[in-house]
Copies of this chain bind each other. A is one copy, B any other.
Amino acid sequence: VKYSGKKIRLKDIASLAGVSIGTVDRVIHNRGEVAEKTKIKIQNILQETNYSPNIMARVLKSKKRFQLVSLLPEPTETNSYWQKHPQGMMSAMEELELFHVTLTRITFNIQSEKDFLKKTEEVLLLNPDGVIFAPIFKSESVGFCSILENKGIPVVLIDGYIENTHFLAYIGEDVFRSGRVAGQLTDMITPESKDILTVNITRNIKNVHHLNKRLAGFLDYFENSGRNTGKKINVNIPDPSTETVKTEMDNIIELYPNIGSLFISGSKLYLIAQYLEERGIRSFKMIGYDLLDLNVKYLKLGFASFLIGQRPEEQAYKGIKKLFEYLSLNKMTDKMEYLPIDIVNSENVDFFIKFPYK
C-alpha cells in the first residue's frame, strides 16, 4: 500500500468528525467527558484513517515522565557478568534521552534472599512506572511479580524466568536449549568412548533453576542426539573456594580416569581452569558459560575450547527499550524473546567482548 497523501493529524480527524482537536484528544486518551455518540464517531474515524500520533510532537509537549527501575545482582570482583547489564541499560537510556525517561538502578547481593526482599521494598517506594529484574530467587521473585501485577506495574524479566508468573516480557537465553548447544559442541570434540564430567559450582543446586535446566539440556543431547558412549558423571561443588574445588576435583578425577571433557554449567569455568593449571593437567576439553575476563583468559590459553555467551548487555538494553515502548508507545512485541546462543572460541571472542550497542 502506498499512501499518496501526508500522515493524518489530529486536526484532520477533528475536521472529519466535525469537532475540535481537544475532543479528539479526549477520546484518544480516554479522558472521558465526551458524549457517547461523539466518542463512537471519532473512534470509527480513528480506525478508518489508521491514525497514529506524531511521537515527536507528543514528547515535545508532554509533561509525562516515566520512571524505570532495575533490580539486578550487584557485580562482584570475580563476577563481571553483572557489570555488563548497566552498560546495556545506559546505552538504551542514551537513545531515550529526549523521551523523559529516567532509570534508577538498584542492586542486591546475589547470595542473599533477605537482601533481595529488602531491595524490592526500595523499588516499590520509588513508585516505578516499569521494572526490570532478574528472578534469581524463585519464591521471592514470584511474590515480587504478583505485587507488581496488582499495582499494574509492567515487569520485564531477564537472565531467567519463572513459569506461571505474570510478566510483560522475558529477554534471555532458552536455557534448556543452551545446554543442548553445549552438548553438541562437547560431543564433537570428545573422543567417542571418553567419559564426560559435568560440574555444578553452587551452594544449593536444587534452588538454582537455570543450572538445573542447562544440565538437563546438556544430558538430553547425549540421550537423544549424541554419539558419545562414555559415562556421564556429575559433581556438585558446594562452594567456590580453591580448597573445596581442589578436594572435589582431585577426588572425582581419581575415581574416573577415562574423563575426556568437562562441562561447567555456570559461569565459574575459570575456577576449574585454575585448578587444572595448578595441577598441570591439559588433557581435558572444557566448555562453560559467559565471557568473564577470567573465562576469556583461560579460553585464550586453550584450557577451554568454547564459551557460550548469553548477551547480558543486550538483555538489559532490550529490556529497557521494551519497557519504554510499552509505556510510551503502547507497543507490545513478543512476550518471550530468546536471544541467540553465542558459541565463542578464542578466534571470535574479541568481537563479542566489545559491546556493539551504542
Contact = CB atoms under 8 A, between A and B. Distances in A.
Interface residues of A, number: 36
A340 B347 contact: no
A351 B60 contact: no
Q: Assembly of this chain: how many copies?
A: 2
Contacts of A181: 345, 347-348
Contact of A340 (B57, B338, B341, B348): B348
Interface string A332-346: 010001111111111
A356 interface: yes
A19 to B, nearest CB: 24
Contacts of A183: 347
Contacts of A208: none
Interface of A: 54-57, 59-60, 98, 174, 177-178, 180-181, 183-185, 188-189, 221, 305, 333, 337-348, 351-352, 356, 358
Contact of A189 (B189, B337, B346): B189
B221 A347 contact: yes
B60 A347 contact: no
B333 A180 contact: no
Contacts of A342: 340, 342-343
B337 A356 contact: yes
